[in-house]
Structure 1
Amino acid sequence: MTEFASYIFIDPEVRFGKPCLKGTRIAVGDVLQLLAQGSSHKEILADFPLLTEQHILAALAFAANRESMIKMIAA
C-alpha cells in the first residue's frame, strides 16, 4: 500500500484535526487501537460498514510511515 494518502485526510474541523479515513469520520488512531486490542479486519469491517479493507491497510501504512520518521535523541 504505497498510496495510503489517498485514503486519509486531515481537517481541523473534523475530529480535532486527527488523521481520518476518507468518506468517514473514523480516525486512523481508532482503527489502530482496535487492531492493537486484537480485533480482526473482519470484525472492524462488520462494526464500521463505511470502512473497506483498503482503509485498514491505509491506517497501518500511515502508522508505519510515521514510525519511520521518528528519530530518537540520546539524553
Structure 2
Amino acid sequence: MQLPDFDSIAIDPGVCGGRPFIAGTRMRVSDILEMLAGGATETEIVADFPYISEADIRACLSFAAHAANHPIVMAAE
C-alpha cells in the first residue's frame, strides 16, 4: 500500500516483514536511515543502490520525521 502523504514509501505485510520500504524496491526506510546515520551521503547511497533516487532518500527522512512526531509521549524513567 502506498502512503497518501509519502508517494515513495510503501507498506506491505508480505514485503520486508511489513516494515516501510521504498516503493518498487525491497529497500527499507530503516536501511536508508541507518546508512545516513553511519555517515553515508545521499550521493554515496545512490551510487551503491542505483535503483534509489535522492528524492527517495528525502522521502525516507520526511517519513521518519513524521513518525517521530507521534502524539504519544514516552514516560521518562
> Scaled by the length of structure 1, what TM-score is found?
0.89
Report the count of equivalent residues: 73
Runs of 4+ in 1 over 6 A off after TM superposition: none
Aligned to 1:21: 22
| Greater relative contact order, per chain length (Cα 8 Å cut-off, separation 6+) | 1
Higher relative strand content: 2
Cα deviations across residues 10-60 of structure 1 (Å, max 9, x unaligned)?
001001001000121100000000000000000000011100111000000
Residue 64 of structure 2 corresponds to 63
Structure with higher helix content: 1
RMSD over aligned Cα atoms: 1.5
CA distance in 1, matches of 2:48, 2:17: 23
TM-score (normalizing by structure 2): 0.87
SS in structure 1 of the partner of residue 27 of structure 2: coil
How far apart are residue 72 of structure 1 and its match? 2.2
Percent identity among equivalent residues?
Answer: 44
Matching of residues 31-50 of structure 1 within 5 Å: 31-50=32-51
Alignment gaps of 5+ in structure 1: none
The answer as to 2:6 corresponding to 1:10 is no
